[in-house]
A and B are shown apart, each in its own frame.
Chain A
Amino acid sequence: GDSVTQMEGPVTLSEEAFLTINCTYTATGYPSLFWYVQYPGEGLQLLLKATKADDKGSNKGFEATYRKETTSFHLEKGSVQVSDSAVYFCALSDRGGGADGLTFGKGTHLIIQP
């Protein structure tokens, strides 16, 4: 079946540091890929998405590129802020492969220190 693997953390960085959160996936079809962010006490919000190979999703300074050859969708940001502290989830949607709903990674807790 489909699966998503991501580093769980917590990942602790200083403000203005470079961020990479790795995400790799396994899917039977041709999935769409997403990054969601969850701030404390809130639901998940879509951060960015990519629907086909080599697409780059971007939002709020975050970027991720859909790499079919390495089945990866790593999240990057050049300079993190304290307000970026949250839990980040990588997810895929592969209804064309027979799955339903989103398949999530376990989440990466990011802590940014001033």
Chain B
Amino acid sequence: NAGVTQTPKFQVLKTGQSMTLQCAQDMNHEYMSWYRQDPGMGLRLIHYSVGAGITDQGEVPNGYNVSRSTTEDFPLRLLSAAPSQTSVYFCASSLSSGDNQPQHFGDGTRLSIL
């Protein structure tokens, strides 16, 4: 059972570079989301999607873009990396957007911006 798969696991970028963090799920989940985890801050929602073709902003969307062309994939794009974006990024999915649906998390991407 693959679940939620994130690639890469680690990445180092220079300020100003762009990159895409990949996220794929094989559970036919409608709802997918991206969080960042910073020390002492818990996890904060960046962007989310309630289905293919539909995305919306979360709590901390600035500097990030997303798209959802298929049910399975939900990539996160950093347009011009900044040191403040150094973080651990988690992708999550759930069957639907209902409140009682638990979210399934990937293992994370550890990103450092120099």
Cα distance, A32 to B99, chains bound together (Å) = 6
CA–CA, A107 and B59, complex, Å: 18
Q: Are A94 and B99 in contact (CB under 8 A)?
A: yes
A69 within 8 A of B: no
What count of chain B residues pass the 8 Å CB interface test? 27
- Max chain B Cβ within 10 angstroms of own Cβ: one of A4, A8, A101, A104: A101
Q: Is B41 an interface position by the 8 A CB rule? A: yes
Q: Mark A8-44, 1 if CB is under 8 A from B, else 0.
A: 1000000000000000000000111010100001111
CB distance from B109 to the nearest CB of A (A): 10
A39 to chain B, nearest CB (A): 10
Smallest CB gap from A92: residue in B: B99
Please, which residue of chain B has its CB at the minimum distance from the CB of A102?
B103
Q: Is the CB of A101 within 8 A of B33?
A: yes
